[in-house]
Each structure stands twice: as C-alpha cells, then as structure tokens.
Structure 1
Amino acid sequence: MLFNVAPLLDGRNQAGVILAVFLGYYIKRRFFTSKKRSIKWKNPFAQDSRSPLTPLVTEQEKRDEILKKAFTKQLATEHQWDAIVIGSGMGGLSSAALLSKAGLKVLVLEKHGKCGGACHIFKAEGYEFDVGIHYVGNLTRHTLNKTLLDQISDGQIQWALLENNFDRVIVDAMSPTQREYNIPSGRGVWKNQLIEQFPEEKKAIETFFSMVNKVTRQTKAWVMVKVIPIWLVKLISLFGLPRFLSDFYALGGRTLKDVIESLTKNKDLQLLFAYSWGTYGEPPNRSSFALQALLHAHYEDGATYPIGGASEIPYRIVPVIERAGGRVLMKAPVSQILTEDGRVTGVRVGNKESSAVDIFAPIVISDAGVHNTLMDLLPENIAKTSPAWPLTSAMKPGIGCLSVFIGLRGTAEELGLKAENLWVFTDSSLEDGFNNIFDGRTLDDVLYKPYPAFFVGFPSAKDPSWESRYPGRSTITVVSFAPYSWFAQWSDLTVKKRGDEYDSLKNAIGQQIIDQITHLYPDLKNAIDYFSVGTPITNEHYLNAKEGAIYGLEHGVERFSPKQASLLRPETGIEGLFLSGQDVMCSGLVSAMLSGLLCASSVLKTNLFNDLILLHKKVKAAAAATATAQSQRSKED
C-alpha cells in the first residue's frame, strides 16, 4: 500500500470529515446562496452611490454644523428611531450609514463634543492634530475596502499616497551604531529588498513571506466564525478542524515572536519582521502571527492619508445618515442601555435622574467596546445572558497609549519632513525595552532614560491640503505606550485640571521623546512652538477607552482562536443589542469599518458582504472601461 488508510477509519477522523462536509454546505447556503430580501429594507449596495467630488470645506463653522451638533431632547426624540448607535467611531458610523442606506432611521449618540471617535481632530495654538488616523493601507486603488468606504461617504473622501518608502525603521537610535531601514511599497518589493540586505537570510525571508501569504489567503476563516452559530464553532473546534482546514488558525495559534525566532537569529531581521506591532499594541511574545501577517498585507501596496485630515472621514459619512432621516448628536453620554423582559428597548442619556432622557428603539448598536457595553451599560443580570460575558474577565483592555503632539514653525519642505513614518527603537530587541516599563519597575527606573520605542508621523507633510490651511506651520504626532498605573491616581480629576504633579510627569516623558526626535532631526529643535502630551487617562476621557487602551481589547493569541473570535461578533445573544467597532474585528480604521458591515448584515439578517462584492465588481469593471476609453482617445490624439 502506498499509504496507511487506518487513520481515515478512526471514528474521530470520520466525524471530522463528515463535519467538514456539513460545514461547507452550511457556509454555501448561508453566504453564497441568494436570499429573498425583506421588502421593508433596501439593499444598501443596489447601486453605486458615489457622487461627483465637491470642494474641500475648510470653514470651521460649516464643519462644526456636522461634527459638533449637540444633543438636545428635542432633536433626540423628533423621530421614532429604528436603531440607536452608541458611539461615533468608525464602527458606529459605518453601521449607521449602511442601515441608513437600507432605509432605517438611525440615531447616533456620541459622548465627546466632536464626532468621529479616533477620527476626530483637535486644535491648539493655531495647530490641528489628528489623534488616531496616521496612515491607512492604499485607498487610492479600487479595492473592496475602498468600494465600501466610498459607498458610506458618497465617494467624497480623497486620499493621498505617502512616500514610496512609507515607513522608516531606526534601530539603536541615540547610539553610534544607529541603523536605518526603509519599508517600500509594491508587491514583493520589500521581500526582495530584504534578501539584498540580508543575503545569508534568504531562506528565512522567503519562508516568512510565504507564511504571511498563507494566512492572508485564509482570512475568510476568521470572519466565518463570527457569523456561523457559536455551537457550530465549538463543534468544529472539538475535532480540531479550524487548524486542519485553515492556515489562518494553524499559523495564528503561534505567537509572532515564536514564528520569527524559529526562522532567524538575526536581531535586526527579527525586528523588521515585527517592527509595526505598535499598530495594535500587543508585544510579539503575546500577539498572534496572523495579526502581523494581515498588517503586512494591508500595507503591501503602499499607504495613504485622508486629504483634509482625519475629520474628513466622519464629516463625509454623517450626511449619508442624516439624508435618510437620521441624526448624529454629540455631548450625549449614554449611561444605560434600557431593557425589558430580557430585550433591549432603548438607551438613557445622562447620569442625573432629574435630567436624564430615555430614547426608545428596537435595535441598539454599541460601538463602545465589549467591556464598556456589558459591564457598564447593561444590568448585570442581563449582561450575563450574553455568550460574550465570559470575555469581560478572560480578556483585558490592551496596554495604555501615550501621545505627544508637536507644533512647529516652518513648512514641511523647510524642516525636511516627508510623507512618511518613523519607527524608532533604542535597541534591536523585539520588546525588551517595553518589558522594562511594564514589568512593575518604578518610574525613576525609566523616566529619565531614552524611551524604548515610539512611532512618529508627520501629518502636515502627508496632507496636500495642509499648506493652504495652515501656511508656515507643521505638525508631528508621536504614539507610544505607558502603564495606566502611572497616571491612575489622577483619573477622577477634571481634564486639564489635574494638577502640577500630573503635568510635570507627562511633560517629562514628552520632553524625553522630543529630545530623541531632535537628536534625529537637529534642525527641529528651534522650530518647536507647541507640544502637548496625552496619557492613558486622556484616552480614557476623550475616547472612553478602558485604561487608556485606544486599540480596545488586548490582541493576544487567544483573540484569534476560533473560540474567542466567534464570541467577538455583532450578535450579543441579547435581543435587539448588537456590537460594532474594533473589538468585533481588530484595531484599525478598515477593521472597524468592516465590523460595521458585519453588524449591519446581522441587524438586517442578510448577507451584505455578497452584495458589496457584486457592486465592487461592477465598479471595477466600469473603472477599467473608462481607463481603456481614455487610453484609446489619447492614442487617437
């Protein structure tokens, strides 16, 4: 015999094969078979809803009419709402926009005074700063992500490409042995460049990118467990089928550090494979290789930045919601999700009983995160009925984030700033520097030493509209991490009035980081006009981020296992309550937007993914036909 058939006759394997056949049949019926759509709701992707581009609106009053529309009882109760969305982050806005396009009247309620969640901007001393959007995988091409974003924004958001080398990694910064590596755009370009730089590591490099491709080809397996019944996920997991059937789970069950260290001992190469782990805030010894693979694929074709800044994103989505009769209201802190007989009936806005406003709707979508939703907004006896309840103790918030916002006198050209990002590391270790911070050492041990790693972006250099809006000025945004415990004692104090001790601490950290940046860019030292530091408790206040974790739930290996991935889904198991946002998928603008698509599909009980794909094919075909016609006319001329 050429092979042993005994294993195929084993009862466990037979059951596994039968289950695989059943699962394939279920998925085909559920996702690839057309269903008769409810007459009540429309297909939000029935037609291409992009409209001709309109000029960038720079008048602040006009923008504030959309981005700062404040809550009033009259506005909040002017309609009988079909759905209420808690939070105006990308997950909440994308859910609301899709449901609005389907014909629902949706009310979006935002605690902050500005719309957009991590897409909002703030202004200080004549400068404008983006707080959460630093770069996004190429949105100038006709990708599925681009089609989805266009359909919820009328195609009005324009994107600018960053430099071809959109990321620069600086190793051993502040040291005589400082080294620098560029991360280029283009399929296969970075792999070939790494082979040239590390010729003796060719096998390791080729294997790494082969593993990346295996994971990204199987991303559907990750999405599927969020929509098929949880009992079915448990059943297929019992037989070990996810790892057997999908490279996403086979490789995603390993930590990033484990994979990298199994491939190479070269410290610089190890760091380059993992340099961008700060994008999701989980060190390589805890994060899943699958997540890093998705990140590499996301930026393979380059990076882009929204023209007009991050607030263009909510500014262009809100009108889609309002056009269908919806509202997006700020300064509307939801204090409770209302329930009756185990089902959701609406929300309460405000904490004082005398002034609280109850607003009713049969559907409530929370973009506030799993912890905030289940632990703070729902009665505990109701929250515990959700299959996701165990996650409130099994999963912690991610690590706290620290930001430094720097205003500079001078243009990007004068200061030598480019449309790129820096990833600065004080050594070549994957995570040792941050382990020193988060292992419980005292502030004195780390405060006055070079900060171990941080991300540096130059928003003013990335945005082609910047110079016309803020002539003679430039900005830098820095993102890093810091323990929540460093600042927790001031968390209950009023923002901007937390006292001299708090200000001294955060400014000392910010100044240390600024000193490291001016070491890399000496000409910037005398150009600094303003700086401000945001700590984990800043994020907690403005973004409602538990313990300052702007990326939501921790992004550990278990999050990408079938079990936990299946529980992080739009359906909560509580009638009328759905989830959207980063916790449903993972960190990032595109992931949050896709969570909105998943959520709207669940609310409407239809397969919007299939509808989106059909429209995307039409859009691409039309674009190709237009390009061909233009090329033909050019030849004739």
Structure 2
Amino acid sequence: MPEEYDVIIIGSGVGGTGIGSILAHAGLKTLILERNERLGGACSSYIKEGFTIDVACHYFSHCMKGRFGKILKRSGLVYKKDGKLGSDYIQFNSDLASKGRVKFKGRPGYSQMGFSTQSSSKSTPKPAESSDLDEKKTGFKKAEQKELISVIGNMLQMSKKKIRELAAREIDLKSWVNEITTNKKVHDFVAMMCGTFFTIPPRLSSASEYIICLQETVFSNDTGYPIGGSIAIPTAFAQGVLKNGGDVRTNANVTKIIIENNRASGVIANDEEIRGKIIVSNAGIKQTVLRLVGESYFEKSYVQRVKDLMPSYSAIAYKFALSKPLIKEDFAFVQLTQTKFGPLADKGEEKKAPMAASYLMPIPSNMDPNLAPPDKQLIIVGTAAPPFVKNWKRWADIYYQDILSFYPELEDLVEFVDITTPVDITNYIGKAGGPVEGTALTPSQSGKRRISSELPIEDLFVVGDTAGTDTHGVGTQLAADSALKCADIILKKYNKLISTLPRA
C-alpha cells in the first residue's frame, strides 16, 4: 500500500515550507517533497570554500515583524521577550533599515537609501541626512530633488482608501508618477526602486501594489537578513513540520499529481506513488496546471488564463568571494545606479545587451560575519534580466565589466566569482524563464485580481509567488503571504477533517 498523508506539499520554497509548518501545527500529517538536495528553491544557500552563498540575490523587506514572524507564530515556533517576538529556530539581523546606500556611477561617495519619517505615523518623508541627494553625489538638482521627495512623499502618505482607488483604476506606476512629474531623472530613480522590488519596469508595475509594499517596508522598520543565509528561513519553517510529526524529503522529484474523479489524491515522486487528502504545489501555477496535472483536466478558458499569466523578468547574479573587504563601511547593501538609464532589451534585441539600469548589491557577510572566512568578504550583485536571451555568456561578460566600472579595485580582490543566469535559475527552481516573481505584480495580476491559490480541482492548491488572491509583499514576502492565506482557506475548508485528528 502506498504511503498516505493528510497534506502533500510539492516544493520547499518559502511558500511551501511556510504553509507546511502552519498545517502541521494544526494537526495535519504533512509531507514536503523537494526535488533539489537543499531546501528553499530560490531562497536557498550553499557552502563553497568557507563562504555561505545565497542561490539568488536577497535582502528581506520584513523579518519577525512581518509575514515570516506570522508564520513562525502560527507554527508555535516563537517566544515573546520584552514585547518582541523571538525564535529558537531562526534569528534575524533586522537592524538594517539605515544601512542601505545608493552609489551613482562616476560620482563620489554614497547617498542613503530610502527615506526616514519623524515618527511611526505617516508624516512627510525626508532624506535621512541633509546631504542624501547632494547634486555632486546624485546629479539631482535642487528642483529635481524636490520633485523626487514629492513623489515619495505622496506614496508614503497615501491612505488605504486612495490605494484602493488606484487599484480600481488598474493604473501602472509610470502613469501614476507622470501625474506628479514627467522629469526623467525622477522617473529613472523610481524605475530603479521598482526594479529592486518587482523586477519589472514601472510601465508594467501596479502602482497600488508598489505603494503598498513601499509603505510596509518603510513603516515596519524591519528590513534585514537571516543569520546563516537565506536558507535559514525555509529551514526554520521545515523544522515546524518535523516538530509536529511531519516529514521533509529532499531529492524527491514529483513528476505527476494524481487526479481521480476531479479530485487530487496523491503524487508520483521518484516513481513512487504517495497518497494525500490535500495536495499543495509550490512548483508554480503554470508548472502545476500544464505539466504536473495536465491541461485536459481543466476547462480551456482556465488553461488559457494560466498560460496568459505574465511572469516578472529573471535576474543575473554575481557572487563575489573576496580576499579582503571591498566595502569597509558597515553597509547592508548598496544600490549601484547608472547616471543615465536605457530600456532593457525587448524580444528580438538580444544582441544589444544594454547596461543594466541598476544593480542590487547586498553584502551578506556584513549582515552575518559567519558567512565568510575571517577578514574576507562576500558580496552579491544582481540585476534584472530578460528571459529570452540565449547567449548569456556575452551578457554576463558585459555586466561584469559594468560592475567593475563602479569598483575598479574589485577585480584584484576576487578569490572566485559564481555567476547565476536565468538558465541556472530555471534549471534549479523549475519555472520557465527563471522569473524572480512567477506571476508579476502588474495591475491586472495583483491584489484582488491575482489568480486564486485554490484550483478548480478539489483538494488541489498552489502557494508561492505565482498565486494567491489579495496577497501582497516583495518577493519572499509575497510567497509567505500566499502561504498564510492559503493555510486559512485550507483550515476553514477542512475543519471537520482537522477536528477528528488525534492530538499529541
């Protein structure tokens, strides 16, 4: 007889491990199946020559005060001390809100990343230091500085009612900014911020969703990084599954979801049949519908809707292991920004390989010194990349030289550099094109318009950054919100099943 579980979860990303931890704590016998040898999907890490290196380029907008903390709390993995949540399963360095900087190419020094407010209320933002937008550092003239402050101020002060009105208009971020200013430098700066959050340009991004995420990030004052690298997050959630009698398996490749009488009833993993009352896929909604289940089990209109979902751009990341520190300040990350922006290549323009508008450069070993050997430094430099490019070596070489133009001394410090392209990400996470967000946060794909986690087959759900109506957040926060809200759907729908389960 095949094994049987209450819940089988395909994939161990933040969404999969997050919902697994919650459901296991609720009493459901839970199994997580991960096809790779390490947990986490794109939110994972590996060890090489004494360095602990993230698979992708990560910096987290929320830690314990956000959705990670909510998952841990609902999983019974937290304690409260001095009014703050803590956990024996994971620790964050979350005192990093003031440690981000922007470096404009060819200009001296750094500008502080982001804006500060005088209190927890939504007061008018201002630069955290008087010299933040100094023309010598940024190229912004006084009038342009005022316009940029006006745009960011409007974002941070916008009421929930006005955000809902923006969502109803389905307006993109570029069009909304145009209602305030048409200044190109201001638009370029917004494009840099938007690319860091959503990995798509403002013309494609939902204005309302971007403002929600910016407000959450600024006012939570909880930006940070997990001790032990990105893999520490899914590892902590997986501990919640194991603590409550569940099972977590790596190198377990699911090739099929079993459908019987329009119900999901199990999976085939490594040619083995495993039965489950509830199947939750963290493999992406397209992968789930089109490959793991198959188009024939769905109505044509639903299949077409899934096919039409637009992913975000992918990314290319450079993981630099350095013999000594390049960044001697205690910065958590630096946003490397061009003085002149150009559009990312459109399909059919692969040969252009234009300069990236900006690069996000976290310094993980500044946030957790144990991620690099003593007196050495780990930095990761990532930028958005279109998924259609075939000759990634050429693009990688051009971007590498561009990164060196910000820090010419970098090359002499490199012990080794690992480069991750969209092809590598696709092979690792299994999502075509290697998108940073599987379903991009466009006006028609965000908020209440986002496709549901509950599929039109009984007992089948999808979590992660590809599905979840009314889910919000940047990157892993979006996946975590999907886990939280899908868990609510399941716990409500299967309340009778849960009430009959034996309690430890």
Structure showing the higher strand proportion among its residues: 2
Equivalent in 433, 443, 449 of residue 343 of structure 2: 433
CA–CA distance in 1 between the matches of 2:15 and 2:69? 16
Change (3 A) 1:428 1:291: farther
TM-score normalised according to structure 2 size: 0.83
Q: CA deviation at 1:515?
A: 3.1
Confirm or deny: 8 A CA contact 1:370 1:392 kept in the other structure: yes
4+ aligned runs moved over 6 Å, structure 1: none
CA–CA distance in 2 between the matches of 1:526 and 1:313? 33
Q: Which residue of 1 aligns with 2:433?
A: 547
Q: Looking at CA atoms only, which structure, 1 or 2, has the larger radius of gyration?
A: 1
Q: Which residue of 2 aligns with 1:271?
A: 188
Equivalences for residues 33-432 of structure 1 within 5 A: 80-132=4-56, 134-139=58-63, 142=65, 146-152=69-75, 153-154=77-78, 155=87, 156-161=89-94, 163-171=96-104, 173=105, 175=106, 181-184=111-114, 186-187=116-117, 191-193=125-127, 197=133, 200=143, 202=146, 205-206=149-150, 208-214=152-158, 217=160, 246-250=164-168, 253-278=170-195, 279-300=197-218, 301=221, 303-350=223-270, 356-384=271-299, 388-410=302-324, 412=325, 415-416=327-328, 418-429=330-341, 432=342
CA–CA distance in 1 between the matches of 2:67 and 2:427? 34
Q: CA deviation at 1:208?
A: 4.6
Q: Which residue of 2 aligns with 1:471?
A: 374
CA–CA distance in 2 between the matches of 1:199 and 1:311? 43
Q: CA deviation at 1:528?
A: 0.5
Change (3 A) 1:145 1:88: closer
The one-letter code of the counterpart of 1:595 is S
Confirm or deny: 8 A CA contact 1:388 1:572 kept in the other structure: no
Q: Which residue of 2 aligns with 1:602?
A: 489
Matched, 1:592 2:476: no
Confirm or deny: 8 A CA contact 1:164 1:185 kept in the other structure: no
More displaced stretch, 478-487 vs 597-606 = 478-487
Confirm or deny: 8 A CA contact 1:125 1:530 kept in the other structure: no
Give the CA RMSD over aligned residues.
Answer: 3.0
Q: CA deviation at 1:561?
A: 6.4
1:438-490: per-residue Cα shift (whole Å, max 9, x none)? 242242x33xx6444322221111114335xx223221212223333323xxx
Q: CA deviation at 1:277?
A: 1.9
CA–CA distance in 1 between the matches of 2:124 and 2:400? 30
TM-score normalised according to structure 1 size: 0.67
3-state SS, counterpart of residue 401 of structure 2: helix
3-state SS, counterpart of residue 322 of structure 1: helix
Q: Which residue of 1 aligns with 2:462?
A: 579
Q: Which residue of 2 aligns with 1:36?
A: none
Q: CA deviation at 1:194?
A: 8.6
Q: CA deviation at 1:203?
A: 7.0
User: Structure 2: where are the runs of 5+ without partners?
Assistant: 79-86, 134-140, 496-504
* Alignment: residue pair count: 464
CA–CA distance in 2 between the matches of 1:441 and 1:389? 30
CA–CA distance in 2 between the matches of 1:361 and 1:183? 47
The one-letter code of the counterpart of 1:146 is G
CA–CA distance in 1 between the matches of 2:233 and 2:400? 29
Q: Which residue of 2 aligns with 1:462?
A: 367
3-state SS, counterpart of residue 559 of structure 1: coil
The one-letter code of the counterpart of 2:205 is S
User: Structure 1: where are the runs of 5+ without partners?
Assistant: 1-73, 219-242, 351-355, 488-501, 609-637
Percentage of matched positions with identical amino acids: 23
Confirm or deny: 8 A CA contact 2:164 2:208 kept in the other structure: no
CA–CA distance in 2 between the matches of 1:272 and 1:150? 37
3-state SS, counterpart of residue 251 of structure 2: coil
Structure showing the higher helix proportion among its residues: 1
Matched, 1:560 2:446: yes
Confirm or deny: 8 A CA contact 2:320 2:417 kept in the other structure: yes
Confirm or deny: 8 A CA contact 1:256 1:274 kept in the other structure: no
